[in-house]
Amino acid sequence: MLNNILLGLLGFTGLLFFLIFLIIILASVCYLFTLQNTLKKISVENRKINPEKVWLLLIPIYNIYFNFIVVIRLSESLKSEFEKRKIDIGNSQPGYNIGIAHCCFLLLSLFSFINEVGIVANFFGTIFWVGYWISISRYSKLL
């Protein structure tokens, strides 16, 4: 019944876009919980950013700038925590490179008015976003 009402109101294309939007929101919330929980595992003296601040990434436009801040400070926090715990991860900047790549493609996706650039930037931005998420999740498990 509800499906028929939604399908009638939105049409198939509208319903598809709505479902994609919900999936993106759900994935984003899970991603932010990963970042927040990772920061909570880091001792207060090694944190370069407050765990609750990651939720500022939900603010459109501002998130493009703030992504860079989160990547840099989370990397610094992880580095300090791993050094304190004497955990050798073989990387002096945990998550930094893939995180900055994600941020750069996110920034480049602003130029989506140039169709090819926007499509490529969004594609690679998504790949690097997932890669960064996996990377941070793995570092979090080491804490």
DSSP string covering 26-54, please?
HHHHHHHHHHHHHHHHS-GGG-SS-GGGG
The whole-number pLDDT of residue 110 equals 79
The whole-number pLDDT of residue 8 equals 61
The whole-number pLDDT of residue 13 equals 74
The whole-number pLDDT of residue 16 equals 76
Per the listing, tokens 């990651």 go with 54
Q: Helices 2-41 and 62-85, interaxial angle, to 10°? A: 40
**How many CB atoms within 10 Å of residue 80?**
16
Under-50 pLDDT residues of the chain: none
Q: Give the pLDDT confidence of 104-138 residue by residue, as tens digits.
A: 998 988 776 667 778 888 899 999 999 999 999 99
Best CA proximity match to 69, nearest among 47, 94, 100: 100
The whole-number pLDDT of residue 91 equals 82
Length of the chain: 143
